[in-house]
Structure 1
Amino acid sequence: MKKVDIACIIDDDPIFVFGTKKIMKLANFCNSFMVFHNGEEAINNLRPIMESNNASLPDVILLDLNMPIMDGWEFLEEFVKIPSQKEVTIYIVTSSIDPQDIERAKYYDKVSSYLIKPISSEKLQQILSAEI
């Protein structure tokens, strides 16, 4: 089965990051990871990649909404402004069940789905199937 080359996790919860990486490894989901603990750290690291050749840009981003410094919405606002040759699929993975957040996510073309934590191996397999 084909797998994602680079997966990016943007989340400030070390337990979620650890668990998600473990599930991704068990599901043979991706070749490598990028992990950022808030939106600002992610945008500061992804912008130069996007402005260059995009070779090491992630294929999939799992984005939390509630983070310090720069939250997921602020990250999305900045991310969509940066031109990119490579298509990046974003999955919002959050504990927020707020209907306003779910509706707001639909306004972003790059957001493929809105997933409620915790994420399961089955859900990762569905994401992988959609990416192939």
Structure 2
Amino acid sequence: MSQNIESVCIIDDDNIYINLVTKIIELKRLSESVLVFNNGKEAMDFFYNSMDSEDKVQVPQVILLDLNMPVMDGWEFLDEFSKIKDDIKNKIDLYVVSSSINLRDINRAKSIDAVSDYITKPLKPRDFERILE
């Protein structure tokens, strides 16, 4: 299988989930690299720094975003990311990946321009195929 995605970004505070998703991506060779941030603030700091940097920083093509995290949760990240997404030259597909099955959360996430889709945890093999291939 060829790698279509150069970089995937996981924004989540659940280390078990992070390790599982990272292993699947590596084993299936779905991406060359995986960036991991444990909360939205760490991720936003990365995006702000990559915009300010003169060096070519590898901006991820896919973001897998959890909603419930400390420091800056997924909703706060989406608010901040929406403000800068048009300034990022590369196209980024952002997927909210949450254990919440609350229709209000799902509809709220899907109503945000920056969000490509909402996926309920745990990710299934067909979810990886749809997102990363």
Would the TM-score normalized by the shorter structure come out above 0.5? yes
Residues 1:21 and 2:22 are matched in the alignment: yes
Q: How many residues align?
A: 129
Identity %: 45
- Describe the SS at the equivalent of 1:21: helix
Letter in 2 for 1:71: D
Matched residues in 2 for 1:89 and 1:52: separation? 22
Residues 1:61 and 2:57 are matched in the alignment: no
Instruction: Let me know the Cα RMSD of the aligned residues.
Output: 1.4
Q: CA deviation at 1:7?
A: 0.2
Match of 2:116 among 112, 119, 129: 112
Match of 2:79 among 63, 66, 77: 77
Matched residues in 1 for 2:20 and 2:34: separation? 13
What is the CA deviation profile of residues 78-107 of structure 1, one whole-angstrom value per residue up to 9, with x for unaligned ones?
011112111111001110111111111122
Matched residues in 1 for 2:44 and 2:83: separation? 11
Residues 1:31 and 2:35 are matched in the alignment: no
Q: Which stretch of structure 1 is more off in the superposition, 47-56 or 27-36?
A: 47-56
Structure 2 portions without partners, runs of 5+:
none
Aligned partner of 2:125 in structure 1 is 121
CA contact (8 A) 1:23 1:121 kept: no
Matched residues in 2 for 1:98 and 1:33: separation? 29
Letter in 2 for 1:40: K
Letter in 2 for 1:114: Y
Distance 1:121 1:26, change over 3 A: farther
Q: CA deviation at 1:121?
A: 2.5
Q: CA deviation at 1:65?
A: 0.2
CA contact (8 A) 1:89 1:112 kept: yes
Residues 1:43 and 2:47 are matched in the alignment: no
Matched residues in 2 for 1:120 and 1:52: separation? 36
CA contact (8 A) 1:27 1:125 kept: no
CA contact (8 A) 2:62 2:92 kept: yes
CA contact (8 A) 1:27 1:121 kept: no
CA contact (8 A) 1:91 1:113 kept: yes
CA contact (8 A) 2:6 2:31 kept: yes
